[in-house]
Amino acid sequence: MQVWFSDQTDGFCISCRVKAVLHHERSSYQEICVLDTDVFGRMLVLDDVIQTTERDEFTYHEMLVHVPLMIHPAPRRVAIIGGGDGGSVREVAKHPEVGEIFLVEIDARVVWAARTFLPTISCALQDGRVKILEEDGIAHMATKREEYDVIIVDAPDPVGAAVGLFSEEFYRSCCRALRPGGLMSAQVESPHFHRELVVRMYRTARRAFADAAIYTSCVPSYPGGYWAFLLASRNEPLSLDLRGDAKELETRYWTPEVHRAAFALPRFLQEALEVVDREVSGRG
Amino acid sequence: MQVWFSDQTDGFCISCRVKAVLHHERSSYQEICVLDTDVFGRMLVLDDVIQTTERDEFTYHEMLVHVPLMIHPAPRRVAIIGGGDGGSVREVAKHPEVGEIFLVEIDARVVWAARTFLPTISCALQDGRVKILEEDGIAHMATKREEYDVIIVDAPDPVGAAVGLFSEEFYRSCCRALRPGGLMSAQVESPHFHRELVVRMYRTARRAFADAAIYTSCVPSYPGGYWAFLLASRNEPLSLDLRGDAKELETRYWTPEVHRAAFALPRFLQEALEVVDREVSGRG
């Protein structure tokens, strides 16, 4: 069947041949679609943008989650903002030292769709440590003080309601919501197609937190493949090293070597961030 | 203008909006097309497959070239197989210790198209150290004995005539064509979409050379973005370290840190290669 789904950024498009449309609805917040594709297996699409696929979601979720969780010396309480597909929850749940996992997802229909159609991604949502809060992540964080050891911002693209997840106000809320030593990670889009956004989010984090760094992964179903993540810390300096007692994790992407390598940025990106460093340190 | 070019792999497609078709011909070997696109600037397309684009070619050429050239202790004579666009030549030409650069490109029309339409990529073709040989790279290497310090296989996808550039026979020719201490690098496709090929080329190199390693870069205009490269050495063990006197290069992607990080492979790929390691060492 030559039916194709296309995820179109301005002037650039990723398309996948579709075997079946498994689900399609308009929730109160967005259009939710689950497709079965030849190349990526099952795929969650929100407002026509690929969010996650069975085949490559590990390249995203493992790096979004394990980088902060393997640096933080004692992550006990973890919050995930967005991430209703459950992929980030599944990765957090691999850490036995985590006692509570709060999934703050505004759209319960995404969680339902993931539970129903994406069992390999949503499989840890029934873990006893998981509490699903059907709330706006921005409002949630605005009220919290020293609640979490790690906050994972598993945001969609910065469009519509998600724009607030890329604001300095939200980052300041997250910093206040972190306990001492706390870390935040966030996806911050493509270094190639959204370079200004990556730089802006780094600048925002340097202002709102004590310290920050950008790291990357390669997510084949996202435009350009190369993808940036932000790591920000309540305390400075931010250490990028794995904690000493880090155990081996069952992963398909993350390894201790990949963890360290993820912070080695190509010169074009490194230099763009160094401009921010000079600004923030007042030498810009 | 809503004209789109699509590079279609089985069930997966990358498309770019086209501003103008600058050139289109059928040479003796292939269909050659140069497009001007919104997102990637000018783009060289051979037989409907994106080869290189003005915007992201540095992510490919720098990693294909500088990794072997910064490891080899004294690269004097360098051969490039394929690479008629001149991007690899441009990167090799940044190394002052290289005295001769042989570009072995079977299709002179590709070189012409690059000279005419892709000046930022082909700009070093007039460097006095460059000799362009309009020859079949496979036949060329079959006759050479201890000629080159570094061989760079800048091959298209393994389809049609290019299949031979992915054969054990060709790799054995390349190994014989290397001087003692010589290194070969080659693009070996996507770890996600062509994983079996990546593994096969690693196995082939482990058999044909004394030692080999896989490293990666992220090339946004290639399917999935994540891309694998092979490094193979005539002598063992293959050192991955930069040579001691390595100077800073003018680059946009490669840095010493990126060089080292490129060999940190995600677990799914590392484990697939370890199967080969066990086979080759007779413990498989």
Q: What's the average model confidence in pLDDT over A74-96?
A: 97
Beta-ladder partners of A187: A229
The pLDDT tens digits for B185-244 are: 999 999 999 999 999 999 999 999 999 999 999 999 999 999 999 999 999 999 999 987
Whether pLDDT at B38 is above 60: yes
Cβ distance B220 to A220 less than 8 Å, yes or no, reads: no
Cβ distance B267 to A254 less than 8 Å, yes or no, reads: yes
| Max intra-chain CA distance, chain A | 59
In contact, B120 and B111? CB cutoff 8 Å: no
Residue of B nearest to A4 (CA): B11
Mean pLDDT of all residues in chain A? 96
Higher pLDDT, A247 or B182: B182
What is the residue type of A54? E
pLDDT at A281: 85
The pLDDT tens digits for B231-284 are: 999 999 999 999 877 678 999 999 999 999 999 999 999 999 999 999 998 864
Cβ distance A253 to B262 less than 8 Å, yes or no, reads: no
How close A18 gets to chain B, by Cα (Å)? 8
**pLDDT tier at A283, thresholds 50, 70, 90:** low
> How many pairs of residues across A and B have Cβ atoms under 8 Å apart?
139
The dihedral through the CA atoms of A138, A140, A141, A143 has a sign that is positive
Question: What residue spans of chain A are helical by DSSP H?
Answer: 57-71, 87-92, 108-117, 119-122, 137-142, 168-177, 195-208, 256-261, 267-280
Cβ distance B11 to A38 less than 8 Å, yes or no, reads: yes
* CA–CA gap between residue B52 and residue A123 (Å, rounded): 41
Residue with tokens 């300096």: A237
In contact, A141 and A173? CB cutoff 8 Å: yes
How close B214 gets to chain A, by Cα (Å)? 14
Cβ distance B264 to A255 less than 8 Å, yes or no, reads: yes
Q: Which residues contact B189 (CB under 8 A, 6 or more apart)?
A: B157, B158, B197, B198, B227, B228
Whether pLDDT at A160 is above 60: yes
Selected for mutation to probe chain A from B2, B5, B9, B14 (highest A CB count within 10 Å) is B14
* CA–CA gap between residue B14 and residue B5 (Å, rounded): 8
Catalytic residues of A: 154
Hey, what domains does chain B have and what are their CATH numbers?
A: 4-52 (2.30.140.10), 57-280 (3.40.50.150)
The pLDDT tens digits for B105-133 are: 999 999 999 999 999 999 999 999 999 99
Cβ distance A15 to B15 less than 8 Å, yes or no, reads: yes
* CA–CA gap between residue B87 and residue A275 (Å, rounded): 28
Query: Measured between beta carbons, which residues in chain A are less than 8 angstroms from residue B58?
Result: 268
In contact, B196 and B206? CB cutoff 8 Å: no
Higher pLDDT, B76 or B281: B76
Query: Measured between beta carbons, which residues in chain A are less than 8 angstroms from residue B219?
Result: 225
Q: 3-state SS string over A85-128?
A: CCHHHHHHCCCCCCCEEEEECCCHHHHHHHHHHCHHHHCCCCCC
Q: Residue A243 to residues A233, A246, A263, A264: CA-CA distances in angstroms?
A: 15, 5, 16, 19
Residue of A nearest to B2 (CA): A11
How close A11 gets to chain B, by Cα (Å)? 5
Of B176, B170, B152, B190, which Cα lies nearest the Cα of B69? B152
- Write the residue in B17, B218, B260 that is nearest to A11 by C-beta: B17
Q: What percent of chain A is predicted at pLDDT more than 70? A: 99
Residue B139 neighbours by CB distance under 10 Å: 12
Q: Which residues contact B213 (CB under 8 A, 6 or more apart)?
A: B230, B231, B238, B240, B263
Residue with tokens 């190394």: B95
Q: Which residues contact A8 (CB under 8 A, 6 or more apart)?
A: A48
Q: What are phi and psi of A214, to 5 degrees?
A: -105, 140
Query: Measured between beta carbons, which residues in chain B are less than 8 angstroms from residue A16?
Result: 11-13
Coil, helix or strand for A74?
A: coil
Cβ distance A264 to B260 less than 8 Å, yes or no, reads: yes
Peptide bond before B68: cis, by omega within 30 degrees of 0? Answer: no
Helix (H) or strand (E) holding A215: strand A211-218
Selected for mutation to probe chain B from A9, A14, A57, A250 (highest B CB count within 10 Å) is A14
* CA–CA gap between residue A99 and residue B233 (Å, rounded): 49
Selected for mutation to probe chain B from A66, A249, A258 (highest B CB count within 10 Å) is A258
pLDDT at A26: 98
Residue with tokens 């919290």: A144
Cβ distance A266 to B255 less than 8 Å, yes or no, reads: yes
Query: Measured between beta carbons, which residues in chain A are less than 8 angstroms from residue B253?
Result: 266-268
Reported ipTM: the value is 0.96
Query: Measured between beta carbons, which residues in chain A are less than 8 angstroms from residue B37?
Result: 11
Residue of A nearest to B248 (CA): A267
pLDDT at A9: 85
Residue B20 neighbours by CB distance under 10 Å: 12
The pLDDT tens digits for A24-38 are: 999 999 999 999 999
In contact, B74 and B228? CB cutoff 8 Å: no
* CA–CA gap between residue B90 and residue A255 (Å, rounded): 35
The pLDDT tens digits for A104-121 are: 999 999 999 999 999 999
Query: Measured between beta carbons, which residues in chain A are less than 8 angstroms from residue B12?
Result: 14-17, 38-40
In contact, B138 and B114? CB cutoff 8 Å: no
How close A43 gets to chain B, by Cα (Å)? 13
* CA–CA gap between residue A11 and residue A26 (Å, rounded): 26
Query: Measured between beta carbons, which residues in chain A are less than 8 angstroms from residue B53?
Result: none
Cβ distance A226 to B225 less than 8 Å, yes or no, reads: yes
Task: Give the full edge-to-edge strand order of the sheet including B77-82.
Answer: B130-133, B100-104, B77-82, B148-154, B178-187, B226-233, B211-218
Q: What's the average model confidence in pLDDT over A40-47?
A: 97
In contact, A264 and B257? CB cutoff 8 Å: yes
Cβ distance B267 to A261 less than 8 Å, yes or no, reads: no
Residue with tokens 């994540």: B226
- Write the residue in A12, A219, A270 that is nearest to B39 by C-beta: A12
Assigned token pair, B56 = 């992201």
Assigned token pair, B191 = 């770890």
Of A189, A229, A231, which Cα lies nearest the Cα of A68? A231
Residue of A nearest to B259 (CA): A264
Assigned token pair, A31 = 């259009």
- Write the residue in A220, A222, A268 that is nearest to B192 by C-beta: A220
In contact, B139 and B164? CB cutoff 8 Å: no
What does the DSSP assignment read for chain B? ---EEEEEETTEEEEEEEEEEEEEEE-SS-EEEEEEETTTEEEEEETTEEEEETTTHHHHHHHHHHHHHHHSS---EEEEEE-TTSHHHHHHTT-TT--EEEEE-S-HHHHHHHHHH-HHHHTTTT-TTEEEE-S-HHHHHHT-SS-EEEEEEE---SSGGGGGGGSHHHHHHHHHHEEEEEEEEEE---TTTSHHHHHHHHHHHHHHSSEEEEEEEE-TTSTTSEEEEEEEESSSSPP-SPPTTPPP---SS--HHHHHHTT---HHHHHHHHHHHHHHTT--
Query: Measured between beta carbons, which residues in chain A are less than 8 angstroms from residue B272?
Result: none
Coil, helix or strand for A165?
A: helix
Q: What's the average model confidence in pLDDT over A203-210?
A: 97
Residue A26 neighbours by CB distance under 10 Å: 11
* CA–CA gap between residue B131 and residue B128 (Å, rounded): 8
Q: Which of B154, B157, B211, B245 is catalytic?
A: B154
pLDDT at B283: 60
